Structure 1
Amino acid sequence: MDKRLNELNDHNVILTGYPGTGKSYTVAKFIDLCLYKGKKVVATASTGKAAVVLTEALEKLNVHKTCVTIHKFFGILDGRFSDDEMVELMFNDERYEKRKRELLETNVLIIDEVSMISKKTFEQVEHVSRAVKNNDRPFGGMQVVLCGDFYQLPPVPSPHYGDDGSYVFSSDLIDCFHHVDLTTVHRQRDEDLSRAISEVARGQLKEDSTFLLRRLARPLPPGDPPIHLYGNNLDVDIHNARCLMDLEDPLA
């Protein structure tokens, strides 16, 4: 763990890894270390749920720090503002005065579950940070730590606001980040099952893992229709449509 934290020290870092490899724990320990050193840390996440999970990880370490969404901290809302409009709000809208003051004081910015942050939002955060801090270094000189698993949920496109939903790693800004990949799964001790789960996430299921998962198959008990799991939204929509067609018409 000390080695992981040393790799994060004073550098912009993108921390990745399978589920259960300790990403949230590592970030929480890093936040604790930064606070101990007297740094002003802002902990954010891509969604409210992710913010709650990181807050709970901090609570387990007795770190009294609340995580918020990146959109709330910067006042990005749903992405309706351009970069220049965001800077204008920061400097001239009294509703953004507190946000500007907090951003000026921030030394370290954490963005958890970054797979759901789009390139557009990521670059807007950098643009606003540089303008508010009046510093031409990336992110206005803040240390930025990104954390997530890019095999999980992707960004949500917003064509109306010119956001095509590209991943943050497609941004040129990613060149100023060191990449740390956590590979040891702590949540599951069965190495074969952990490997199978990782292969499923990447869509590269090998023969041994296929046999393992087939051996885990069990007949469903009688009763209500079981829940079905699908790998893409199209199959989900087709299944739901069939179920709706099978319902009795209440007006018949």
Structure 2
Amino acid sequence: MGFVQRRKNDKPAIIRFHRCSQEKHPEQYYGRLLKLYLPHRSDHELKTPSLPTYQAFYGAGCVQLPGTDCLEYVQHIVKRNREKYEKNSEEIESAVEEYEQNRGVTDEWCNLAPESDLVRLPLVEQEREQDNENEQEDVPDYSRQADASTEVRAIREPPAIDPTLLRQMFQNLNKKQACIFYAVRDWCIKRVCALNPEQFFFYINGGAGTGKSHLIKCIYSEASKILSKVPRYADDVDISKPTVLLTAFTGTAAFNISGTTLHSLLKLPRSLKPPIQGLGNQLDEVRSELLNAEIIVIDEVSMVSRHLFAYVDARLKQIKGTRRPFGGMSVIAVGDFYQLPPVRQSKPLCVHDPSEIDLWREHFQMITLTEIMRQKDDVVFAEMLNRIRVKGKLDVLCEADRNLLSQAITEPAHCPTDALHIFATNKEVDAHNSATLGLLHTHIIDIHADDYRKDPRTGRMALQDRPFKGGKNELQTH
């Protein structure tokens, strides 16, 4: 369009990288400094015939930077850039070193599950031995290195969780939740021990308040920790990549479990009509991101249509490079088919269609959670909700349920202002919100705004003649 838009992000960045010892490995130390802080296009520019080492070039070398007319000492350029981008580096390194030397290692699993500790301890010891054996001094540039087994373990182990909180989380599982949890955990241990366990396909079913989300968090926490120690096919694999994927159909459902949407994770198109579209140039990027993934969790599975489920299966096969169902990954589907169905009248997974391949009916084992966990203090109300959950249109409510429902407040005027109100239309929602704001705040200020819109031809912002009416998620305009 005849112009280049300038990127305005000019804030100094914090660079985190492996630091070599200046005394033990001076060549690697100065090589890192030059590659990070001296502008260059190839490694050949970081040495000269008269200065054949990184250390010598750093100490006595001179270069002419683009856009300048004079030579400048290399060490002056490096020092200037380090001060700009590497804020408080010495203090950070000192704190990290002190933490590594003084921190205490606490192993709480023996208290949580003593019957399984004998299986786990040899596995941890074997992993520590492998860490020591795999240490290398000569490694490719810009890759993570490890010069001590403590650093390797620090990278591989997830962030520490409060042992008391962890113990409470697992102890709060009821009998059926614990069975699912330990089934997944045993599978992960076999996977780490290279016993090649078969894929599992679990469908965790249950009404509201039966602890489905809590169980997901427990499984994710333990499975991620164990699967991070799976032997990989390549020595330079990035162990920071996720081993357990938390997904859902909508952004709200994904946010509730700290996950991501299926469309975003697997780069799915908007239209799911066949034929299946490949990833094209994005395949290597997605394959690298999901290289370590062993388990995928799909929450609110009632909203997943048959076409979307088939797309997920095909996409995982493409990413993992295998024809096994879901690319060889184990799947945990969580949800309740009495809740929201797929959009646009699509068929839910539980509806069998003889004309199509039924991945759901063929593979998945249903496990139903029945014990109420959320409303333990009001079991009568929770049981009534579950009866309404399965009630048909023509079924008559029992007298006890009618009496319990009649105790609810029905007049809006009698409801507390801070209580959650549910309306059928957006118009009623806006009216209630405006009225509530007027009651809570007497001094209201109107702010007049000028609306601008970018001109696609020039890239410049143009003032609009009339206010721009935004979507439902934006501020209201009058």
TM-score normalised by L of structure 2: 0.40
Whole-angstrom distance in 2 between the partners of 1:78 and 1:206? 45
Whole-angstrom distance in 1 between the partners of 2:381 and 2:205? 20
**Runs (4+) off by over 6 Å:** none
Whole-angstrom distance in 2 between the partners of 1:133 and 1:187? 38
Deviation for aligned residue 1:102: 2.9
Matching residue within 153, 165, 177 for 2:364 = 177
Matched, 1:167 2:359: no
Whole-angstrom distance in 2 between the partners of 1:6 and 1:177? 18
Instruction: Name the structure 2 match of 1:20.
Output: 209
Identity of aligned residues (%): 27
Instruction: Name the structure 2 match of 1:37.
Output: 226
Question: Are 1:14 and 1:145, in contact at CA under 8 Å, matched by a contact in 2?
Answer: yes
Matching residue within 261, 270, 288 for 1:78 = 270
Deviates more, 1:72-81 or 1:28-37: 72-81
Question: Are 2:272 and 2:311, in contact at CA under 8 Å, matched by a contact in 1?
Answer: no
Deviation for aligned residue 1:132: 3.0
Alignment of 1:76-225 (within 5 A): 76-80=268-272, 82-85=274-277, 88-89=278-279, 93-157=280-344, 164-170=345-351, 172-174=358-360, 175-188=362-375, 189-204=377-392, 205-217=397-409, 219-221=411-413
Deviation for aligned residue 1:131: 3.2
Mark the runs of 5 or more structure 2 residues left unpaired by the alignment. Answer: 1-172, 188-199, 229-242, 353-357, 416-420, 432-478
Q: Report how many aligned residue pairs link the two structures.
A: 212
Question: Are 1:17 and 1:181, in contact at CA under 8 Å, matched by a contact in 2?
Answer: yes
Deviation for aligned residue 1:30: 0.5
Deviation for aligned residue 1:80: 4.5
Matching residue within 156, 179, 186 for 1:3 = 179
Question: Are 1:75 and 1:96, in contact at CA under 8 Å, matched by a contact in 2?
Answer: no
Whole-angstrom distance in 2 between the partners of 1:194 and 1:142? 35
Q: Identify the structure with bigger relative contact order (alpha carbons < 8 Å, sequence gap 6+).
A: 1
2:256 aligned partner, one-letter code: V
Question: Are 2:337 and 2:350, in contact at CA under 8 Å, matched by a contact in 1?
Answer: no
Whole-angstrom distance in 2 between the partners of 1:81 and 1:105? 29
SS at match of 2:319: helix
Question: Are 1:195 and 1:209, in contact at CA under 8 Å, matched by a contact in 2?
Answer: no
Q: Deviations over 1:109-151 (max 9, x none)?
A: 1111111111110111112222332323211210011111212
Mark the runs of 5 or more structure 1 residues left unpaired by the alignment. Answer: 56-66, 158-163, 231-235, 244-252
Q: Evaluate the alpha carbon distance shift between residue 103 and residue 75 of structure 1 in structure 2; reply closer, same or farther with a 3 A threshold.
A: same
Whole-angstrom distance in 1 between the partners of 2:414 and 2:387? 31
Deviation for aligned residue 1:104: 4.2
Whole-angstrom distance in 1 between the partners of 2:404 and 2:329? 46
Q: Evaluate the alpha carbon distance shift between residue 96 and residue 137 of structure 1 in structure 2; reply closer, same or farther with a 3 A threshold.
A: closer
2:335 aligned partner, one-letter code: G
Q: Deviations over 1:187-218 (max 9, x none)?
A: 11222211111122223543321221123345
Question: Are 2:184 and 2:223, in contact at CA under 8 Å, matched by a contact in 1?
Answer: no
SS at match of 1:110: strand
2:261 aligned partner, one-letter code: T
Larger radius of gyration: 2
Q: Evaluate the alpha carbon distance shift between residue 104 and residue 228 of structure 1 in structure 2; reply closer, same or farther with a 3 A threshold.
A: closer
TM-score normalised by L of structure 1: 0.73
1:173 aligned partner, one-letter code: L
Whole-angstrom distance in 2 between the partners of 1:77 and 1:203? 37
2:297 aligned partner, one-letter code: I
Deviates more, 1:123-132 or 1:200-209: 200-209
